[in-house]
Amino acid sequence: MVHVAIIGAYGSAGVAVADELVDQYDEQLELTLIDDGDPGGGLCILQGCMPSKEILSAGKHRFQARHDDRLEGVPTVDPDAVVAKKNEHISNFAEHRRRHVHDLATHDFVEFIHDRARFVDDRVLAIGDGDRRIEPDYVVIATGSTLNVPDLPGIESVDYMSSADVLDATMFPESGIVMGFGYIGLELAPYLSEVGGVDLTVIEHDDHPLDEMEAEYGETLLELYEEQFGIEVLTNTDETRLERTEDGGVRLHADREGEPTTIDAEQLYLFTGRRPTLDGLGLDRTALDPGEGWVEPTMQARDDDRVFVVGDANGREPILHVAKEQGFAAGTNIRRHDRGEDCEPYTNVPHHVIFSGLGVSPFARLGHTPATAAESEMETIVVTREASSDGVFKTKNHPEGRATLVVNAADGTVIGYQALHLHADVMAKTMQLAVEMGLDVREIPDRAYHPTTPEIIDGLVRDACSELSDSPN
């Protein structure tokens, strides 16, 4: 009999661990599920990817109607209706998650505790006020993440809104400053502009967003956001301090390309990323020392191989689908460790989608980029195609964007794909198959029959095959 406790059992990672353990152990398991969520459901369902897609869809419809000169009039978005519909759907999703967790607890060997837990010693947990303590053989930390508030002078003097606040907003200010232009800022800034009518100024530290990609991708986004959404993006700009204005607004002092600049607005939006939620867990009472490299690829804590840390809590890759896969991997590795077998590292092919431009111009990344392939010293063939090269994007009124295919020059296998254009998000699954299955680009059909939007992939395949045939390899 092995006893496992999961702190954060409502979240996607925690549920995945529980499911895997129940499937593998059956009656040889004592499982304690702990979560004080109220309502429970996990970050992604309540405040993350699912509610954000709900509200983005409303902005997307308005933008596409406004952007199409073949149509007359611009529809009005009702923020109250948007939030009400979002709340209805999210409530149903969360209830489904809670029901699943509670159903697990109907097993004789599973207990659900709706309370908080903290460490009081190595793998010793105090529940609630501490009247009850448990000493499981293994502990899984799946506590998710929270807003990363930057350590900026004056930030304590101003009011700010997080992404979670925006998801519930039904009233909007006339002007706003956005700090943080990663995937959260790229998704929510156009919503604030399109639906809220907010005059936005965005702070971008680099030359452009998506700085890990070829410059043309970030430059395309800058052009789209400035020209189609009226968002001012201050590139190469660093925040220096904040202060509250006399009328209750916010003033940001910044350094822009070596020159001081000041921006005033009614509202500050913090989209500055997230950090693992570890506060209050009592890790200082244990051998665990969270920091760089504190979680091994096996999902085991470096300082205690009977503690597993999964999902956003480990700070490795804060994405829902990765969190679930990490959870499954941790459940399997707990079983291996309990048997005295070697644990296997969790590895994944990078697979990210950003619903930029309200999802009209999403960005997708699968596998290697040209830069990461170059770092690996692999000989590659890199081909790029502009969306405007295919008439279908023009007929759908969105010719902007591009796509890139990365192929191993030695054997023709597809090792990476990136795209920023209409429907790039739905094409990501197709290219995931190509990358993860290691398909030879020469064996991929290069003609699309229906639908024709994926012809951009066909063009990349043809170009890559042509270069392979010309290659001395």
- Cα(221)–Cα(210) distance, rounded to whole angstroms? 9
Q: Comparing C-alpha atoms, which of 77, 11, 14, 9 is closest to residue 48?
A: 11
Q: Which fold has domain 2-145+275-338?
A: FAD/NAD(P)-binding domain (3.50.50)
Tokens linked to 336: 């291996």
Q: Which CATH superfamily is domain 362-470 in?
A: FAD/NAD-linked reductase, C-terminal dimerisation domain (3.30.390.30)
Contacts of 101 (CB under 8 A, 6+ apart): 9, 10, 15, 18, 33, 35, 40, 112
Tokens linked to 423: 């429907």
- Cα(84)–Cα(167) distance, rounded to whole angstroms? 11
- Cα(26)–Cα(23) distance, rounded to whole angstroms? 6
- Cα(469)–Cα(473) distance, rounded to whole angstroms? 9
Phi, psi of 106 (to 5 degrees): -80, -15
Q: Comparing C-alpha atoms, which of 158, 156, 196, 190 is closest to residue 175?
A: 196
Give kind and range of the element (H or E) at residue 221: helix 215-228
Q: How many CB atoms lie within 10 A of CB 304?
A: 17
* Full-model pTM: 0.93
- What pLDDT, on a 0 to 100 scale, did the predictor assign at position 26? 66
Give kind and range of the element (H or E) at residue 252: strand 250-256
> CATH topology of 2-145+275-338 equal to that of 155-272?
yes
Strands (E), 55-198: 110-113, 117-121, 124-127, 132-134, 138-141, 145-147, 160-161, 175-179
Q: Give the length of the chain.
A: 473
- What pLDDT, on a 0 to 100 scale, did the predictor assign at position 231? 98
Q: Map out the domains of the chain as residue ranges.
A: 2-145+275-338, 155-272, 362-470
CATH code: domain 155-272 is 3.50.50.60
String of DSSP letters for 345-395: PP----EEEE-GGGGTS-EEEEE--HHHHHHTT--EEEEEEEGGGSHHHHH
Say which amino acid occupies 151.
D
Q: What is the pLDDT along the chain (473 residues), one digit of tens a residue?
A: 999 999 999 999 999 999 999 998 866 899 999 999 988 888 888 888 889 999 999 999 999 999 999 999 999 999 999 999 999 999 999 999 999 999 999 999 999 999 999 999 999 999 999 899 999 999 999 999 999 999 999 999 999 999 999 999 999 999 999 999 999 999 999 999 999 999 999 999 999 999 989 999 999 999 999 999 999 999 999 999 999 999 999 999 999 999 999 999 999 999 999 999 999 999 999 999 999 999 999 999 999 999 999 999 999 888 888 999 999 999 999 999 999 999 999 998 889 999 999 999 999 999 999 999 999 989 999 999 999 998 899 999 999 999 999 999 999 999 999 999 999 999 999 999 999 999 999 999 988 777 788 899 999 999 999 999 877 65
